Amino acid sequence: MCIRDRDKREQCKRSAISIHENRFIIAMDFNFLVFPSPKPSYTHSSFYGSVLYIPTDPYLWETTPPLVPFNQTFLLADKESACAVHGAYEASCIPCLFVPAKIPSNKILLHFHGNSEDAGGSKSLATTLRNYLNVNVLIVEYKGYGIYKGSPSASSILDDADLVFTYLICALRFKPEDILIFGRSIGSGPACYLSSKYSIHSLILMSAFTTLREVVKGIVGPLLKYMVADRFNNAEWLKTAKCPVFLVHGDMDKFVNAKHALELYKAVKGKRKLHIAETMTHDKLNAIADFITPLMTFYKEIGYEVVSNVRGYDASSDPTKKTTSKKESLYYFPI
């Protein structure tokens, strides 16, 4: 009996080790799927003159110009040479796509994109925000995405987000209250994180989630949700958000259920607005009807006067009366 019991214990131990190893492998697979690192949509030269290279070493901020010297007559080889000399090809710089305001503005919007697109893929939406809000826009790239070398992780995204925000204040002299932050899907993580630390102008969230674990739970069930690390606790961060918060979510979102948006809305203690768009999914929306119009209404309600540069748009009028063509307003965005 003792030998048999000992054999059973050894068998159980081996089974437990096997289960633990399989669980670890599954966890790694789920964590990898969170940051799929899509094929780059741009290069150093394709957005030459529009990429802001922010050194990860703050001691270099005063001596390293953020923009590679721009010259329209540069040949491709000249552009690549300038980037190499500047240090843009190294992981020692965070590449961010800069979309300047058409009318000079003292405000800037930090744009954190979704996890299946890079900074280049999110430029259309960023440009729409720039046009209607008349703000400068800085699209922050994630490590392992686009031209940013390295492996993506939640910690690297948060660290870079904090560094870029500090760079805007210390190096570019923006005031925290003049910084708007936008986060979409996975980008809601760094966006909520920064809003809990700093007194910014406002926070805009699209297709946001409470935590990554809850997203996994909605897809594969409550047991397997523990196979992914508990990252980006947006619901907890929003409890201490120091700014007005606008949330937009698709009622037809099959990836992140609209219940997430409702829970996030409840977590906000200050000024807030939640818009559930009936036909919006996780990757398809009518940019004007689903997003811009309710956003402008929210800003009007909290007393923020927007000086828009969109032709035919009157900031003092009801934005719901703004009409646009389908070609202008309909966009497709990856997750």
Distance CA(101)–CA(160), nearest Å, equals 24
Helix 154-170 crosses helix 188-197 at what angle (to 10 degrees)?
Answer: 50
Q: What is the mean pLDDT of the chain?
A: 79
Lowest mean pLDDT among 9-13, 104-108, 220-224: 9-13
pLDDT for the residue numbered 180: 98
- pLDDT > 70 in the chain, percent: 69
For the segment 75-82, the average pLDDT, to the nearest whole number, is 56
Task: Indicate if the pLDDT at residue 77 is higher than 90.
Answer: no
- pLDDT > 90 in the chain, percent: 50
pLDDT for the residue numbered 319: 43
Task: Indicate if the pLDDT at residue 222 is higher than 60.
Answer: no
pLDDT tens profile 59-69: 888 877 776 65
Q: Is-contact 283 275, C-beta < 8 A?
A: no
Can you read off the two tokens belonging to residue 330?
Answer: 């309909």
- Between 215 and 159, the more confident residue is 159
